[in-house]
Each structure stands twice: as structure tokens, then as C-alpha cells.
Structure 1
């Protein structure tokens, strides 16, 4: 088993379907105008959904040489993204360090772990739990639940439950 894990290639580029984005939108604080999507390209559905709601959205991606973990943040009111799960601890810490509200789509199991627990207790977090598993690749829902981890005065310390209506967006 250890050998299989050692040879396992990390695959972190999963695309968020619109039905998984929509439930998060109502948890964006009313004073937010400018949003940074630091793990997204311009054609990301997250970027498109936020733009359609009237937000000014800045999309940056490591493929374009902009690494969220060591880039000076642009002027923004909030950070929203579906980050690489393999580096979620670093992403969460960076979001807290920037000191802006944020929404990260993460596995619900991200609630577990000493480092994350310490950060969540120290800074606050709210969870928007999606009632179904998300299909990121058109081949069926993944085996774990993903939910929105949102740090803002509206959500910290609270758990919300939202229904999603999975549809095949590839048709």
C-alpha cells in the first residue's frame, strides 16, 4: 500500500461545475466588489459565475507563472477559488495571512487535522455543506463530499446546508 501511495501522481486540476458554485454566491458579504480567484484561469466557471453577478474578478493561475503562495496579493475584497487539494493547508494559511474574507471549495474532511483545526479555531471558519457529491470530470461524482469553507463575518462559526442539482454540463 505504501508503495502505491508513493507512486501515486497528484492530480489537482479539477474543474468546478456551475451547480457547485451557485450555493456559495449568497454567502459573499455585501461590501465585496472585487474578487481574486488565485487558482483559476479566465475561462473558469467560478470566474464566469462571479463576473455574471457583477463582481470585478481577477483570475490568476500557476500555469501563467503566478503562484498564489508567494505572489503579492492584488487589491481585492475577497478570495474565492477551488484550490489544489494536495496543498490545502498552505492555501488556507495563505488566505488567513492575507486577512481578507475567503471561500475555498475543499473536501469536507479538511475539517480534520491539527494544523487546520488550530487555524480554524484561531481565525474562524464557516462551512456551506453541499447535499450531494460533485462531479468534477463528467464521469460521476467523486467519492467524497466537497463543501465551501468560508471565512467572513457572515459565516464564521456556522454551518449551512445547501441543496445542489447536479447536471451534466458537458452535454
Structure 2
């Protein structure tokens, strides 16, 4: 897998699955009793599995199941946690911010070099759960350990501090 093709994707290979070890660190920050919406996930997603196993109610949706993030919203939910496509980043974060609810979305740290996050979060509180290691992804059954970019959870109204840096457990 060429990690540059993910980072600079035009939507052709945005279906990179988050591995369990990269989901677990965000779970401790989910407020107790929250209903978690995973808007880019099928029931086989590690977000759905891991968050559900931690005792949270999870609502998941996916465009393949007719639930487009830009048009669909579950009736009941409190927070969003997911790994959205890396293409269309600005639009995804605009939509997430429009709900005025907490969220944690994985995104490439290189996005911080762009003007979009600065514009979107100028009057909002951007929080980052960053990691010492690069997060790996499953792309069509293949895990490339030579990934060229690092990713973090880009959050809003979710973390106890604006920047938290943690170590990722091994795969």
C-alpha cells in the first residue's frame, strides 16, 4: 500500500480501516452514558466493536447502507467518534461542527498545514489526541508498516485538555 495514495486521495481509496489498537485510546475520553454515533462505519468496524465492548450504546451508519453523513443524522446520539474519509476533510469537519456536539475524528496531522482547520476552528476549540507513533490502517486486508504520515484524533469539546500526547500500544 502506498500511504501517499491515502493521504492525497481523491476518494478512490478512502476506505482504510482503523485497527483496534488505534480505537482503544479514545474510549476513556467518551463521557459515561453517551450514545456514540460512528457515522462512517459498518457493524464490522473496530469503532463499533471496541466502543460497544466498553459498554457504550453505539449507533453506526455508512454511505454504503444509504446513510450519507451529509444527509443522515440518527435520532438519538451524544458524541461522534470515527475515522472519516481523508478526502473532503473540510466538508466533513464543517458538518461535524454544525451539530454543536462533541466529536473525535481521525485525521492526518498534515492537515494542520492547511488553512481549513485554522478557519474552521478559529472560534471553536480544536483538541488533539496525538500519538508518539504513527497510526497504521488496514487497506483492503493489507497493513503497511511504512506509512509516511501520522494521524491524530481531531476533537471538539471532547478531551480534558487541548493537546494530549499518548503512546499507542503495539498492534
The whole-number CA distance in structure 2 between the counterparts of 1:153 and 1:12 is 25
Question: What is the TM-score when the length of structure 1 is the normalising length?
Answer: 0.85
1:123 match: secondary structure = coil
Q: Identify, as 1 or 2, the structure richer in helix.
A: 1
Identify the structure with the greater strand proportion: 2
> Which residue among 152, 159, 164 is the counterpart of 2:168?
164
Please name the residue that 2:98 is paired with.
97
For residues 141 and 77 of structure 1, what CA distance do their matches in structure 2 show?
36
Structure 2 residue aligned with 1:5: none
The answer to which of 14-23 and 147-156 deviates more is 147-156
Partner secondary structure for residue 19 of structure 1: helix
| CA-CA distance at 1:74 after TM superposition | 2.9
Unaligned runs of 5+ in 1: 1-7
Match of 2:4 in 1: none
Q: Does 1:79 align with 2:80?
A: yes
Deviations 1:81-128 (A, max 9, x none): 100000111111101001110000110122232222111121111101
Partner of 2:148: 143
Structure-2-length-normalised TM-score: 0.85
Tell me how large the CA RMSD over aligned residues is: 1.9
Structure 1 residues 8-38: Cα deviation after superposition (integer angstroms, max 9, x where no partner): 77310001011111111122233x4201100
Bigger-Rg structure (1/2): 1
**2:35–2:79 contact (8 Å) kept in structure 1:** yes
Count of equivalent residues: 159
1:11 alignment partner in structure 2 = 13
1:130 equivalent in structure 2: 131
Q: Who is 2:24 aligned against?
A: 22
Paired residues of 2:107 and 2:154 also in contact (CA < 8 A): yes
CA distance 1:9–1:106, change in 2 (3 Å) = closer
